[in-house]
Structure 1
Amino acid sequence: MCSVVRKGADGGGIGRQGGGVSTPAHHLTPPPRAGHLVVCGDDALAQRLSYELAHVYGEHVTVLLPSVHRNHGPQIDDLARGGGLSVSVVEAAEPDDDALRSAGVPGAMALALVYRDDRANIHAALRARRINPNIRLVVRLYNRKLGRHLEELLDRAVVARIGDLSARDVTTTVLSDADTATPALVAAAISGAGKVVQADGLLLRAAERPADERDPAPYLYTLALASDGVGGSPELLPDDGTVAAAGRTRGRTVLETITLEEGGAPVNRPRLPQGLPVATLFPPRLRYAIFGLVTLLFVFAGLTWWVTGDPPLRAAYRSILDVFGMGDPAIGEGTGRQVLQVLSGLAGMALMPVLFAVVLESLGTFRTATTQRPPPRAIANHVVLLGLGKIGTRVLDRLCDLGIPVVCVERDPQALGIATAHARRVPVVIGDVTREGVLEAAHIGTSRVLLALTSNDAINLEAALYAREVDPELRVAMRLFDDDFAKMVNRTLRESYPNALTRSRSVSSLSAPAFAGAVMGRQILGAIPVEREVLLFAAIDVAGHPELQGQTVAEAFRAGLWRVLALDVADPAERRADLGRDAAPQRDLQWELHPGYLLRPTDRVVLATTRQGLAQLLQANRGPTPTH
C-alpha cells in the first residue's frame, strides 16, 4: 500500500533585511477593517490557514508576510487579488510594532502567528499583547514546554491589565503543526491501525471498517461512509438511516474506542542513567560465559565437598581458589583431591581468556552504542523512517511510544532528531538516500513500511519508487506538497501497482483546521482525515448556541455538520480550560450519552464536526467586535 502525503516546509523563518533596519510595512491590498483576523507567516500553513478562515468561516483576513515574492507569498497574494475572498496582504520585513499596527492588530479580534521560527513568533506575541490586550492569540511553537510557559506568561499579562479572563475569550493558545499531523502520519504508516487524535491526556481512536465486514467490532458512532466511486467524496457524519441504507456496500470510518492515555508523567523507578545501553554492555555471549563460569564453580564445589568431606562453604571456597589458580597445592592430600585441583586449574585457564575477550568486546560495543547504533542484522518487520526534521522527530517519538521497531535514515548527522534517536536507542543510518546502498543498510527489504518525511519532494519520491521495486506490497507514505503533483503520483502508482491503495495527506492541511478553530476561539482537540476530507473534534460550551442549548442529544445532531459525542461532567467552577492537554481523570468526560439527555447552558460537550459545521457554530456565537 502507498500513502502520498503532501508536505509543508520545515525549518527556516523570517529574517531581518537591510542590516537589521526594519523596512516600513506597506499594504498591497485595501487596508484591514476592525474585527478582522490577522495571520503572520508566509509558508504553506499560513496560506492554508488564510484560505480556511476566509473561505470556510467567511472572515476578513489580513496576512502579514515578509515578501510576496518568496516562499508561499505569491500564492497568498493570489488569494487577496483573484481568489474572490476577503483577504488583505501587508508586506513587512519583520513583525515589529509598526508592522503589527499596519496589519490592524489594535482592532483585530484574533492574531495567528505561524512563522517557522519559534523566536519570531514569541517576539511578535509579546508585542501584540502589549499593543492590544483584548486580542486572542494563537502561536505556532515546536517546543511544547516553552509553549506552556508562554501561555501562562501572556495570560497573566492580560489578567494584570483587564482582570478576569472568564468573561472574554482573549486567552493564548499554543499549537504545533507537527503534533497535530503526527497521529495521522503514524496511522497512515501502520497497516490495520485506526486513525487517532491525540492531545496528551485525551485520546480518540477511529478505525476503517471494510464494506464486506460481517461481524464488526463494537463501536460508538459511524463518523463517515466511504465514497461510492472513483472521484467521489466520503459522506461525513451520516444519520442512522443513511448508514442502514448503505448496508455492506460501502466502507465506513467508526469511532471505535475512546480512552485517556495513561502515563503522562514517567514513574520514578531506580534505574541507570537515561540512554545507558545495559543490554549492549551485557550481550548474550557475555551472559553465556558468566553462566558457564558459575555453573563450573558449582560443579567443582560439589565434587570438592564429596572428595574431601569438608563443610560445604569450605569446599566451595577451596574450589574457587583452584579454578582461579589461587589455591595452595594439594600436597599430602588424597589422589582424588589432587586430580580435582588439576582439572579445576585447567578449566579456569581455558575459561578466563574467553571471559576476558567477551568483556573487551562488550566494552567496545558499549562505546560505539553511545554514539550511534547501526541496525541489527536480523531486524525485520520494522519501520524505515526517512528524515529526522521536526515532523520526523515527532513521528519517531510516537512510533517508539507504540513499541514499533524503527530504523532511521538521515543525511545530516546534526539533524534535530539525531539526539532523540540516540536517547530512544533507535538505529540510525547516516547517508544520502539517493545513493546506492543506503536504504539497503536500513534493511528496507525486510521492513513493513517506509515513511519518507524529508522536506524534499524528489528525495521522497525517489525513495518510494525504489521501495516499490524492492517490494511491490510494501506500505509507503510520502510527504508531497503540490496538489497536482501528488494527484499525478497517486494515479501513476495506482496504475503501476493496482493492488496498492494510494491516498494523500498534507501536514499543512491537517494542521490548518486546528489552527483556524483556535483562531475562532474554540479548543480544537484534533483532526482525523477521511480520504480527502477532515473531521474535527472540538470542545464547545453549550451556552449561546441555540442549535445545542435546550435540545436533546438526538435533536442536536446535524447530519453532515456535527454530532455530540461526550459531556464534560466536571463542575463548571472546576472545569479544565483545556481538555486537549491537561491530564484528566476519566470521570470528567461521559461518553455514550442517552439520546434524550437535554443539553443545558452550563454544559460543555465534545463534538465531532466538519469544518463547515464548526464554522456555522462559531459564526452563530460570534462575540462583539472590539472597538478602539
Structure 2
Amino acid sequence: MNALPHQEGPWTDGHMVVCGDDGLARRLAAELRDIYRRHVVLVVPDGHDGEPGTEPSGGRDGPAPPAGGRTGAAPPLREVPAPSPTRDVLLRARVEEAAALALLYEDDETNLRAALAARRIAPGLRLVVRMYNRKLGHHLEELLDQAAIVAGSGADRATLDASTTVLSDADTAAPALVATAVADTNKVVQADGLLLRAAERPAPARGEVSDPGLCTLALLSSTTADPAGSEGSDANGTRGPELLPDERTVRGSAGRGAVVLETVRRAGPALPPRRLARRGAPLGEVFSARLRRSLAGVVAAVLALTVTTTALTDAGPVHAAYLTLLDLFSINDPALEESSTRQVLQLLSSLAGLALLPLLVAGALEALGVFRATGALRRPPRGLSGHIVLLGLGKVGARVLARLRELDVPVVCVEQDPDARGIPLARDLGVPVVLGDVTEDGVLEAARVHRADALLALTSSDTTNLEATLAARSLRNDLRVALRLYDDDFAAAVYRTLRSAHPDAVTRSRSVTHLAAPAFAGAMMGRQILGAISVERKVLLFAALLVAGHPQLEGRTVAETFRPGAWRVLALDTARPELRSPDLANTGQDAAHPSLLWNLHPGHVLHPEGRVVVAVTRRGLAELLGNPPDDRARERRTDPRSGR
C-alpha cells in the first residue's frame, strides 16, 4: 500500500476519508479538495465512477463547473475500491491517522456498523455519519461521543476535539433550497437557525449608495469598465477579488461590484390570521354568519322578555331573568295561578325556547363539521397570490416546507401520495395541499401556480419535475422555477432549452447532493466550521470560535480584532457557556431562542468566555487555530486519541 502524500500548507494535520456508494461521496471528496485543500481517500465500490445518482448543481448558467480552477493545485485524491466499509477496508484507508471519516452509504445499518468499527480503531477520530433515521442518529451521536470521552482518559466534550456528527442530506439541503425559492441564491450559511446569504451586488451608479447589509465580505475583480474581469483575473494579470476589505478600501472601490452578507428575508403578502390553536380554525369559520345572527335574535328576545317581566311584575331584574330562562328551557311550572300578564310572558318565553333548540343543534353540527374539515387538508384560498408552489412532500419536501413556514412564506403543496411523509406536517401547519398527479390537467391550476412567485419541483422523478416545469411555464412565462434533477447531461440540456425558450424567466437546477456536500464537508472540518462561500476563484469560510486561547481575539475590541484579508468578527454568542449548542450550523428548528448578536459595536470587548462567529480565509483560519501545521501532524502521530 502506497503511503499518503504529504501536503504542504495549512492543512497537514491528517487526511480525510470519505466512504459512500452514491454521488454524495464524490461530491464531498471534491468539496474537501477544492474548497478546503485536504488530502482525500475515497472508498467506493469497485467500478463505481460516480455517474449513477450524481446530481448537478445548476446555477445561472446551468450546472456548476468543477472548482478545480481556483488558485493553487488541488491535493491528490486516492481511491480505495471496496464494496463495504469493513474493518480491513478502514485500515487500508488509514483511518487511525485521518482527521475525519465520513460514512455516506444509503443504508443506515452499514453506516452504523462502520462508525462503531472506526471508533474502536481510532477513538479520537472525527466522525460524520449520514443517517435517515433521525432518532437513531441522535442516540448514535451520543453513544460514539461518550465512547470517545471514555477513551480520552476523562476529557469532556467541551475540550475533546473529536466529535460525532449525524446528518441527513435532506436536512442539510433544505436551507439552500429555501434560499433558492425565496432569495434566488444557493450561497447560504446557516448559523443558530438563521439563514445568511452572500449576495453579489453590481457596482453602484454615480451618486448611488448601496446597502452594505451586515458587512461587505469581498470586492469583486469585475468593474463597470471590465464587467468580465472575474473571468480573466489570473490570466490577464488584473487584480482578483479582495476578501474582507476594510471600510476605507470599500469606500475607495468605485466601479467594483461587491459581495455582502445579509439575512434571507422575504417581502410578500401577509399570512392568514393567527389561528386559535395549532390545529384549530378561525373563530369566524366555526359558526356561520346566519347562525350567529339567529343566536343574536334569541338573545335579544330573552333580554326583551326579562325587561318586560321586570316592568310588568313585581320581580326584580335578576329574578325576572331567572324566570325567563326557566320558561325558555321549559323547566318551570305552568303559571296557572298567576296573572294573565305572567302567563303571556311564559308562553312567549316558551316560543323563544322552541326557536333556540334547533339553533343549538345546528351550531353543534356546524362546529363539528368545521373541526373535522380542519383535521383534513386545506384547499388553496381563491384569492391566494405571491406564494410558493412546492411539488413533492417526501423526505426533502417536508424539510423545505418546515423551513419555508419558519420564514412565514405562504406555501401551496402538491402531492400525489396521500400517505407521503410531509402530509401530516402540512396538516399541522395549516398549509393548503392539492392531492393529485402534477402532470394531470387542472392540478397546477388548483395550486394557483399562475399567481405564484416561484415553483419548487422536488419530487424524486426527473421527468415529473421537468413536465411540471413546462406545464407551469405554459401558464406563466415569467415564473421563477427551481427543479431537482439528477443526471448532469440531462440537466444541462434542460437548462439550455428552458433559457432559450424563456430568456426572461429565472431557471435553477438544484441537487440535494450538491447542496448537502458543503454541510458534510464543514462537519468533517470540525463543528467550528459553519460553511464556505466561493468568491470567484477564492473561498471564504465561516467559523464559530471560542475567544479563549486566541490572542488575536481575547481582550480586544471588535475593531481591533479585524484583520483585512484574513478574518473579521461577525457575531457574538450571548448564550451562557453551559447552554450553548455544540454545533451552531445545525441547530435548525431546535434553536427556539437564537443567541447570536449581529451588528456588534466596534468598541465591544471580547471576553475569554465568549464565542464568536468569524468570516475568515483559509490561511487566516490556520493562523487563528494556533499550532503550526507540522506540530499538529506530529501530535496526531504521537497521540492517536487526539481529534486533530
Task: Report the TM-score range of the alignment, normalised by the length of the smaller protein.
Answer: 0.7 to 0.9
Q: 1:194 to 1:463 in 2, by over 3 A?
A: closer
Is contact 1:554–1:596 with CA below 8 Å preserved after alignment?
A: no
Q: 1:486 to 1:357 in 2, by over 3 A?
A: same
What is the match of residue 42 of structure 1? 21
What is the match of residue 103 of structure 2? 113
What is the match of residue 135 of structure 1? 125
Is contact 2:568–2:616 with CA below 8 Å preserved after alignment?
A: yes
Q: Report the Cα offset of residue 322 of structure 1.
A: 4.1
Superposed, 1:370-381 pairs within 5 Å as 370-381=375-386
What is the match of residue 171 of structure 1? 163
Q: Choose which of 319, 322, 334 in structure 2 pairs with 1:317.
A: 322
Q: Report the Cα offset of residue 555 of structure 1.
A: 7.8
Distance 1:170 1:524 in 2: 14
Superposed, 1:53-64 pairs within 5 Å as 53-64=32-43
Moved more, 481-490 or 110-119: 481-490
Q: Report the Cα offset of residue 440 of structure 1.
A: 2.4
Q: 1:524 to 1:191 in 2, by over 3 A?
A: closer
Is contact 2:192–2:595 with CA below 8 Å preserved after alignment?
A: no
Is residue 542 of structure 2 the alignment partner of residue 537 of structure 1? yes
Q: Choose which of 398, 404, 408 in structure 1 pairs with 2:409.
A: 404
1:606 partner amino acid: V
Q: Report the Cα offset of residue 157 of structure 1.
A: 0.8
Mind listing any 5+ residue stretches in structure 1 that lack a counterpart? Answer: 1-26, 259-270
Q: Report the Cα offset of residue 138 of structure 1.
A: 1.6
1:243 partner amino acid: V
Superposed, 1:461-480 pairs within 5 Å as 461-480=466-485
Q: Report the Cα offset of residue 567 of structure 1.
A: 5.5
2:215 partner amino acid: Y
Is residue 450 of structure 2 the alignment partner of residue 442 of structure 1? no
Q: Secondary structure at the match of 2:633?
A: coil
2:32 partner amino acid: L
Q: Report the Cα offset of residue 225 of structure 1.
A: 5.4
Moved more, 615-624 or 492-501: 615-624
Is residue 78 of structure 2 the alignment partner of residue 88 of structure 1? yes
Superposed, 1:66-105 pairs within 5 Å as 66=45, 68-69=47-48, 72=51, 86-105=76-95
1:123 partner amino acid: R
Q: 1:368 to 1:48 in 2, by over 3 A?
A: same
What is the match of residue 6 of structure 1? none
Q: 1:86 to 1:182 in 2, by over 3 A?
A: same
What is the match of residue 613 of structure 2? 606
What is the match of residue 9 of structure 1? none
Is residue 419 of structure 2 the alignment partner of residue 414 of structure 1? yes
Q: Choose which of 193, 210, 222 in structure 1 pairs with 2:216.
A: 222
Moved more, 324-333 or 390-399: 324-333
Is residue 268 of structure 2 the alignment partner of residue 282 of structure 1? no
Distance 1:470 1:47 in 2: 38
Is residue 390 of structure 2 the alignment partner of residue 385 of structure 1? yes
What is the match of residue 254 of structure 1? 261
What is the match of residue 273 of structure 2? none
Is residue 336 of structure 2 the alignment partner of residue 357 of structure 1? no
Distance 1:570 1:362 in 2: 45
Is contact 2:20–2:105 with CA below 8 Å preserved after alignment?
A: yes
What is the match of residue 251 of structure 2? 244
Distance 2:32 2:532 in 1: 16
Q: Choose which of 180, 186, 192 in structure 2 pairs with 1:188.
A: 180
Q: Secondary structure at the match of 1:624?
A: helix
Identity of aligned residues (%): 50
RMSD, aligned CA: 4.8
Q: 1:574 to 1:290 in 2, by over 3 A?
A: closer
Distance 2:383 2:167 in 1: 40
Distance 2:118 2:284 in 1: 52
Q: Report the Cα offset of residue 49 of structure 1.
A: 0.8
Moved more, 545-554 or 132-141: 545-554
Q: What TM-score comes out, normalization by structure 1 length?
A: 0.75
Q: Report the Cα offset of residue 607 of structure 1.
A: 2.0
Q: 1:215 to 1:54 in 2, by over 3 A?
A: closer
Q: Report the Cα offset of residue 284 of structure 1.
A: 4.3
Is contact 2:479–2:506 with CA below 8 Å preserved after alignment?
A: no
Q: Report the Cα offset of residue 377 of structure 1.
A: 4.4
What are the Cα deviations for residues 84-129 of structure 1, in whole angstroms up to 9, with x where unaligned? 8622333333333333334332333310122234443333212210
Distance 1:490 1:308 in 2: 86
Q: Secondary structure at the match of 2:568?
A: strand
Distance 2:612 2:502 in 1: 44
1:122 partner amino acid: L
1:181 partner amino acid: A
Is residue 520 of structure 2 the alignment partner of residue 515 of structure 1? yes
Is contact 1:323–1:345 with CA below 8 Å preserved after alignment?
A: yes
What is the match of residue 456 of structure 1? 461
Q: Secondary structure at the match of 1:112?
A: strand
Distance 1:399 1:390 in 2: 15
Q: 1:249 to 1:63 in 2, by over 3 A?
A: closer
Distance 1:459 1:184 in 2: 22
Mind listing any 5+ residue stretches in structure 2 that lack a counterpart? Answer: 7-13, 56-65, 67-72, 232-239, 266-275
Is contact 1:180–1:526 with CA below 8 Å preserved after alignment?
A: no
Distance 1:436 1:236 in 2: 52
Is contact 1:219–1:257 with CA below 8 Å preserved after alignment?
A: no
Distance 2:229 2:287 in 1: 55
Distance 1:548 1:36 in 2: 29
Q: What TM-score comes out, normalization by structure 2 length?
A: 0.73
Distance 2:621 2:280 in 1: 48
